[in-house]
Structure 1
Amino acid sequence: MFSGYILRRVNVSYSGKHKIYLDKKAIEDRHLYRLLKRIFDFITSLVGIILLLPLFLVVAGLIKIEDHGKIIYKQTRVGRNGSLFSIYKFRSMRMDADKHIAELLKYNQVEGPMFKIKDDPRITKIGKFIRKTSIDELPQLVNVLRGQMSLVGPRPPLVTEVKQYSEYDKQRLLVIPGCTGLWQVSGRNDVGFSEMVELDLEYIEKSNLLFDFFLVIKTLKIMIIPNGAY
């Protein structure tokens, strides 16, 4: 459906499966697409921040009331070509959440270099709601406005996750990461790491403005009728 600009690729057999290797030069040469995408991101994120300001204030108040802790959670993520940046989210976990991650690793429910568990005991009451509806991700509009992220693209990984990436997995880092993408609208945490990589590479290969717009609309629908987010 969304063929658009198809990147050249090489399929190689690996453990009985065909892996897609994207053409890095073809991706770098998409100057017009990146320019138009940046204009779309800037305008949409600016308008979004203005329109969603009342919601931001309500959520901020609820987070503060629950445990009097910080409202915004800042975390280092890996962007395009390995660049580092600070991602912003509404805090959905207890203030001491990072201190307890080691003891919870054995409960990880996602294969590969990612960590997710359902009913995470570190999640606050308001946190459970804003994660389910993806409201916790909305402060990332600031990252989009600053050009660190795009509205649509692969999920920005943690530094610790990238350390475990194969060269094949690192192809996810060939483009600017996004607030939403093909993985996010395809089941999110119900989709394993390997499947996430394949979905991200499929997005990069087929990406165009129409496809981006389609994924944004689908994301808005999921915020009303949540999928596998937790």
Structure 2
Amino acid sequence: MSNKTIQKCVKRVMDFVVALIILLLFMPLWLLITLLIKIDSKGSVFFIQARPGYHQKIFNVYKFRTMRIGSEKMIKGREVLKDDDRITGIGKFLRRSKLDEIPQLINVLKGEMSIVGPRPERIASLEDYTEEISKRLNMRPGLTGLAQVSGNIYISLSKRYEYDIYYVEHFSILLDLRILIRTVGVIFFGEDKYAGKEL
């Protein structure tokens, strides 16, 4: 068994344990967020959408809903920035703090996602994938990733793909830990502060 294979096994165990602990430990907070979403706007608490995952296997990704009902139909080709008027009041806080991604820990427990990995894109994006870009699907998608801590929407899509491919080809537990540490910085200081800054 190769060193990388061993690290991937360790990664999966760590994913499961960390996801379970966070979900259980902060359950009161998740219930509070659920209540605030219901009070703030009409609609479901969760946003559920089919996304391509590991080796293009389609799965349903879960998020706390942060946008007004029907807004997701207008997203294609348009980035959702922090001052977007489609975002609800509580949604702005959830997006800024990344708490809207927390339900994806369920995806992690199910083995559909990882804590760290390329972010899952919409199925329609596959139409534009080249053989090179498809490499980003050779690992489970993550809640956070190298592209997300290197500028994310403040850098070009092609550059985000470059970061994703680099991550897949150079994966290690150490790289995951470095990404997680910078994710904390992104939460406190914003994605724009890390645009163009190599990890």
* TM-score w.r.t. length of structure 1: 0.77
Distance 1:161 1:178 in 2: 17
Would you say how many aligned residue pairs link Structure 1 and Structure 2? 191
- Which residue, out of 176, 190, 197, partners 1:226? 190
Deviation at 1:222, TM superposition (A): 2.1
Q: Trace 1:3-82 onto structure 2 (pairs within 5 A).
A: 30-82=4-56
Determine the structure 2 residue equivalent to 1:6. Answer: none
Distance 1:138 1:215 in 2: 17
- Name which of structure 1's ranges 219-228 and 58-67 shifts more when overlaid on structure 2: 219-228
Is 1:116 aligned with 2:116?
A: no
Distance 2:188 2:105 in 1: 18
Determine the structure 1 residue equivalent to 2:67. Answer: 93
- Contact map agreement 2:37 2:45 (CA 8 A) in 1: yes
1:116 counterpart letter in structure 2: E
Determine the structure 2 residue equivalent to 1:194. Answer: 158
1:47 counterpart letter in structure 2: I
2:5 counterpart letter in structure 1: H
- Which residue, out of 126, 129, 146, partners 1:162? 126
Give SS of 2:51's match: strand
* TM-score w.r.t. length of structure 2: 0.89
Distance 1:124 1:228 in 2: 21
- Which residue, out of 182, 185, 193, partners 2:146? 182
Distance 2:89 2:110 in 1: 31
Distance 1:195 1:143 in 2: 26
Deviation at 1:121, TM superposition (A): 2.6
Determine the structure 2 residue equivalent to 1:137. Answer: 101
2:109 counterpart letter in structure 1: L
Q: Which runs of 5+ in 2 are unaligned?
A: 194-199
Determine the structure 2 residue equivalent to 1:15. Answer: none
Distance 2:21 2:192 in 1: 28
**Which runs of structure 1 show a deviation greater than 3 angstroms over 4 or more consecutive aligned residues?**
none
| Pairwise CA RMSD | 1.9
Determine the structure 2 residue equivalent to 1:3. Answer: none
- Contact map agreement 2:113 2:143 (CA 8 A) in 1: yes
Q: Which runs of 5+ in 1 are unaligned?
A: 1-27, 109-114
Distance 2:192 2:109 in 1: 27
2:185 counterpart letter in structure 1: K
Residue by residue over 1:132-162, the C-alpha shift from the partner in whole angstroms, topping out at 9 and shown as x without a partner, is 1211111111111111000011111110011
Which protein is bigger by CA-based radius of gyration? 1
2:95 counterpart letter in structure 1: R
